[in-house]
Amino acid sequence: MNKFHKYILLLFVAGAITFSCDGIEDSLVSTELEENPLPPTPEYSSGSADFSKYVAVGNSLTAGFMDGALYTAGQNNSIPAILSAQFQAAGGVAINQPDVNSANGFNSSLSDVGNGLIFGRTELDTDIPGPVPTTGEFPIPDFTGSRSEITNFGVPGIRVADLFSTDLAGNAALGLYYSRFASSPGSSTIIADAAAASPTFFSLWIGNNDVLQYALSGGISEALITSQGDFQNDFGNALGALVQTGAKGVVVNIPPIVVLPFFRAVPWNVIALDEATAGQLNAGLSSVNDAINACASPLVGLIDEEDAARRNINYSVGPNPILAIDEELTDLGPCFDALQGAGQIDAQARAQLVPYEQSRPMAAGELVLLTAGAVLNTPFGDDPAKPIGVVIPLGFNADGSLEGDKFYLTQAEQANIVTARATFNAVIDGVIAATNDNIGATNVVLADLHPTLADLFGLDVATATQLALSTDSRDAMFADGELGLSVSGVTLMPTFGPDGVFSTDAVHPNPRGYALISNEIITTIETAFGASLPRATVLNYPSVVIAQ
Structure confidence by residue, pLDDT tens digits, 152-193:
999 999 999 999 999 887 777 788 899 999 999 989 999 999
H-helix or E-strand spanning residue 284: helix 275-294
Weakest-pLDDT range from 1-10, 37-46, 84-93, 527-536: 1-10
Q: Is residue 27 part of a domain?
A: no
- pLDDT bucket at 465, cuts 50 / 70 / 90: low
Phi, psi of 12 (to 5 degrees): -65, -45
**Residue 38 within any structural domain of the chain:** no
Q: What is the pLDDT of residue 37?
A: 62
Q: In the predicted model, what is the mean pLDDT of residues 316-339?
A: 97
Spatial contact of 62 and 77, defined as CB atoms under 8 Å apart: no
| Model confidence band, residue 30 (pLDDT cutoffs 50, 70, 90) | low
Using an 8 Å Cβ cutoff, are 415 and 228 in contact? no
Q: Show Cβ contacts of residue 421 under 8 Å, excluding neighbours closer than 6 positions.
A: 211, 254, 256, 257, 468
From 25-29, 131-135, 222-226, the region with the lowest mean pLDDT:
25-29
List the one residue out of 399, 545, 436 whose CA is nearest residue 66: 545
Q: Are residues 142 and 249 in the same domain?
A: yes
Q: What pLDDT, in 10s, does the model give residues 432-449?
A: 999 999 999 999 999 999
**Measured between alpha carbons, how far is 278 from 296 in angstroms, rounded to an integer?**
25
Q: Which amino acid is at 539?
A: L
Count of domains in the chain? 2
Cα 531 to its chain centre, rounded Å, is 29
pLDDT tens-digit profile of 392-438? 999 999 999 999 999 999 999 999 999 999 999 999 999 999 999 99
Whether the full predicted model's pTM is greater than 0.75, yes or no, is yes
Q: What percent of the chain has pLDDT over 70?
A: 88
Q: Which residues contact 393 (CB under 8 A, 6 or more apart)?
A: 323, 324, 325, 355, 356, 359, 404
48 within domain boundaries:
no
Are the beta carbons of 268 and 364 closer than 8 angstroms?
yes
Query: 403 and 443 share a domain?
Result: no
Measure the CA–CA gap between 453 and 408, rounded to whole angstroms: 23
Lowest mean per-residue pLDDT among 100-114, 205-219, 472-486, 529-543: 472-486
Return the pLDDT at 476: 41
211: closest CA among 222, 200, 201?
222
Q: Are residues 244 and 378 in the same domain?
A: no
Q: How many C-beta atoms lie closer than 10 Å to residue 425's C-beta?
A: 17
Burial class of residue 509 in the structure, from the number of CB atoms within 10 Å of its CB (0-12 exposed, 13-18 middle, 19+ buried): buried
Q: What pLDDT does 98 receive? A: 97
Q: Residues with Cβ < 8 Å from 17, sequence gap 6 or more?
A: none
In a domain, 208, yes or no: yes
The answer on pLDDT for 12 being more than 70 is: no
Is 166 found in the same domain as 76? yes
Among 349, 375, 409, the domain-final residue is 409
Is residue 28 a part of any domain in this protein? no
Give phi and psi for 141, each to the nearest 5. Answer: -55, 145
Instruction: Verify that 108 and 182 share a domain, yes or no.
Output: yes
Mean per-residue pLDDT for 514-535?
98
The rounded radius of gyration (Å) of the Cα atoms in the chain is 30
Res 463 pLDDT > 60: no
Would you say 546 and 124 are in contact if contact means Cβ atoms under 8 Å apart? yes
- pLDDT at site 472: 39
- Which is nearest to 205 in space by CA: 395, 419, 424, 50? 424
The CATH number linked to 423 is 3.40.50.1110
Band of pLDDT at residue 387, cut at 50, 70 and 90: very high
pLDDT exceeding 90 applies to what percent of the chain?
A: 81
pLDDT for res 13: 36
Q: What is the pLDDT of residue 457?
A: 84
Mean pLDDT of 368-384: 95
Q: How far is CA 80 from the centre of its chain?
A: 17
Q: Please indicate, yes or no, whether residues 418 and 525 belong to a single structural domain of this protein.
A: yes
Q: E strands along 171-270, which residues?
A: 201-205, 248-252
Assess if residue 1 is contained within a domain: no
User: Please, what is the end-to-end C-alpha distance for the chain in angstroms?
Assistant: 71
**Amino acid identity, residue 95?**
I
| Cα–Cα separations (whole angstroms), residue 379 to 274, 388, 526 | 19, 6, 56
What whole-number distance in Å separates Cα of residue 502 and Cα of residue 67?
Answer: 9
The residue from 409, 443, 465 where one domain ends is 409
What's the pLDDT at 473?
A: 38
Q: Is 279 inside any structural domain?
A: yes
Q: Do both 352 and 498 map to the same domain?
A: no
Same domain, 461 and 351: no
Tell me the β-bridge partners of 248: 201
pLDDT digits (tens, 9 = 90+) for 232-279: 999 999 999 999 999 999 999 999 999 999 999 999 999 999 999 999
Mean per-residue pLDDT, 70-85: 98
Q: What is the pLDDT of residue 23?
A: 52
What is the C-alpha to C-alpha distance for residues 311 and 292, in angstroms, rounded to an integer? Answer: 7
Structural domain range at position 260 = 54-264+412-540
Q: What is the pLDDT of residues 89-128, one digit of tens each?
A: 999 999 999 999 999 999 999 999 999 999 999 999 998 8
Phi-psi sector, 193: left (phi>0), alpha (psi -120 to 50), beta: alpha
Same domain, 62 and 202: yes
Q: What is the pLDDT of residue 27?
A: 57
Distance CA 300, CA 263 (A): 38
Structural domain contains residue 506: yes
Three-class DSSP category at 215: helix
Question: How does residue 31 score in pLDDT terms, banded at 50, 70 and 90?
Answer: low
CA dist 362 → 115, 189, 203, 293, 367 (Å): 34, 44, 41, 18, 9
How far, in Å, CA of 54 to CA of 151, rounded?
7
Same domain, 433 and 302: no
Q: Residue length, the chain? A: 548
User: Could you tell me if 313 and 403 lie in one domain?
Assistant: yes
Q: Quick one: 278 and 323 in the same domain? A: yes
- Mean of pLDDT over the chain: 90
